[in-house]
Structure 1
């Protein structure tokens, strides 16, 4: 059975369809939605999956509607959107740099967003909204600095990674300094934010994330063909009509925006951007960036990790960033061992 088919419309337009990749996307979407329903029903006041669905359809009682629609649904939606943004952003970074170990965590975007948040917490005792804005500005400024420092008649993938590692080290040192000069209350608040958590998220975090994804996801998918061709090299893709630097700059901006906004909404949730594209590629067994499957994988990973955290340690006892950090670290070690045995590193 062929995994790739060509679908032709009556007008003569043909579309190449990877059946396995499409099936993986559908299954990941179903897994993310199922995990979301279970997560909404998890907490100090448990609700069955059937009652959750009834409440979402508008047929629940007053207590269930308040718990589901006002307390738990926004948190789950933020988890889905943050996971999707990190998964897609990680896939873009890995495709642009042509490095499977590249991610916003490695390049320092999470540290940059953390620096912006720490400035607002430590120096200005900012509100939650001001901390979110500071994290967004810090992530965008770090991404811009990395791109400009890596520019030399274009941006080479490995040069971008090396510059990102250097910037990450500098920003990490700045973050350590900010923590040492803060008082105990601000330091505690900063450490909690730096862990990465979905606790206390409400509709104020949902709408900016949803609006950004509604704009950036279609824009990225439209340029997926050019990104796939760029993996063959700049010279080959340029000869095939791809405006390499324009596409690369556009996709890098989109990746930075997705990562910075996700970090601003939930804190620096580690390793999702690294592992989601890798797991998606292994499931689809398809070459190329696997953008849509990485997006779905990131969403499924984050809500599942949040559910596991609540089921194991209770609601709000263990931030989801700790779970993703542990699982992502184990996966990274396994990936490094696998790459080394294959002679690729």
Structure 2
């Protein structure tokens, strides 16, 4: 391992299987984000009706002989929620990076294009119409809903060539239509069912345990491995189809794989915690600015940024006694307004 300076400091990592250059700034950013995640996660485990100090939390995690009551609260109730926040943030951020790179637009996230709303609509149908309320059925409903929405948006936006602007505009329209259908379903069922769906629809990490975490983590690892080759192919695709084909990238297959993986990541989170808005929109752009990268597809910084945003947002949500989706929606709305204003100023 050695440090090389090519205008910016790089670490050369070379083994028998891999050889790569890693920017020093990206490593420092990732380390800082890990510290934020650990600090916010430990703070989140101290919050609740049963107050626990930092020292007691750490002892409960590392010492099997610690107070059994405190250990049960920390390891069985609160720690899974923190781990789920990390998982959801990483999955949403990775999905956002995929779609923003695919559309070559910072607004090209599942929240804006409508894929997240499609996944939410699929879960709503599964829960309220089909009466299937287990995690696997909700995950299947979210995946089918998201993929069908992606197909519909792609078909409607495709006129000889698919521009990112047309894709976003069509996605906003499809999202509005699906939102109306979701509202119609909610007012057509009983009050108890509507309240259950509304609570889920606010986006909450409460009541999630290891039973849901283990299958979700397994699925996330699979999708993250599938997304790894996209880290190289999507930035090439941003240069245009002709340039991509000249460099050995197949545009059609790359777009299809990226679309399926991105929607699957959104479905994974939506099925477990409900829609957690704007993480997919904000995390890739924040990571790109922190690392000074030219693409939102830096996997480790993007996923750690998303994880940090959700962990911090969930800690704030617990302090305010509201679902985490309310916090991310409030902060994300401000971020979206600033992003739109910045793009307007840049164009004028």
In structure 2, relative to structure 1, the CA distance for the partners of 1:174 and 1:13 (3 Å cut) is closer
> 1:92 pairs with 89, 98, 120, which one?
98
Contact 1:4 1:16 survives alignment (8 Å) = no
Matched, 1:108 2:149: no
- The question of whether the paired residues in 2 share the 8 Å contact of 1:108 and 1:168 is answered with yes
CA deviation vs aligned residue, 1:82-130 (integer Å, no higher than 9, x gap): 1110011001100000011111111112211221222234334443544
Equivalence for 2:332: 328
- Are 2:28 and 1:61 aligned? no
Once residues 259 and 14 of structure 1 are traced to their aligned partners in structure 2, the CA distance between those partners, rounded to angstroms, is 32
Q: Distance in 2 between matches of 1:13 and 1:210?
A: 26
1:125–1:186: 8 Å Cα contact kept in structure 2? no
Q: Alpha-carbon deviations, 1:180-203, whole Å to 9, x = none?
A: 212222121121111111111111
Matches within 5 A, 1:181-192: 181-192=188-199
Runs ≥4 residues deviating over 6 A: 10-13
| Structure 1 residue aligned with 2:24 | 19
Using the TM superposition, give the Cα deviation of residue 249 of structure 1 relative to its aligned residue in structure 2, in angstroms.
Answer: 1.3
Structure 1 CA distance for aligned equivalents of residues 153 and 26 of structure 2: 33
Q: What TM-score do you get using the length of structure 2 for normalisation?
A: 0.90
SS in 2 for 1:17: strand
What residue number does 1:44 align with? 49
TM-score, reference length from structure 1: 0.91
By how many angstroms is 1:306 displaced? 0.7
Q: Distance in 1 between matches of 2:221 and 2:323?
A: 27
**What is the alpha-carbon distance in structure 1 between the residues aligned to residue 124 and residue 220 of structure 2?**
26
Deviation of the 1:156 alpha carbon: 4.6
Residue 297 of structure 1: aligned partner:
305
> Corresponding residue for 1:137?
144
Return the alpha-carbon distance in structure 1 between the equivalents of residues 252 and 139 of structure 2.
31
2:323 pairs with one of 311, 319, 325: 319
* RMSD between superposed Cα atoms in Å: 2.3
When residues 250 and 4 of structure 1 are mapped into structure 2, their CA distance, relative to the original with a 3 A threshold, is farther
3-state SS of 1:342 partner = helix
Deviations 1:129-188 (A, max 9, x none): 444543343233323433455456775534433332232122112112112212222121
SS at match of 1:15: strand
Q: In 1, Cα distance between the equivalents of 2:129 and 2:220?
A: 31
Q: Counterparts in 2 of 1:207-226, with a 5 A limit?
A: 207-226=214-233
Please give the per-residue CA displacement for 1:255-286, whole angstroms capped at 9, x wherever unaligned: 11001111111101111110111111111111
**1:222-271 Cα shifts (integer Å, max 9, x gaps):** 33111121121221121111122212211111111001111111101111
User: Partners of 2:51 and 2:190 in 1: how far apart?
Assistant: 38
Choose from 122, 134, 147 the match for 2:128.
Answer: 122
6, 9, 16: which one aligns with 2:14: 9
Contact map agreement 2:107 2:168 (CA 8 A) in 1: no
Change (3 A) 1:79 1:152: same
Q: Residues 67 and 121 (structure 1 numbering): CA distance in 2 closer, same or farther, change over 3 Å?
A: same
Name stretches of at least 5 consecutive residues in structure 2 with no aligned partner: none
Size of the aligned set, in residue pairs, is 340
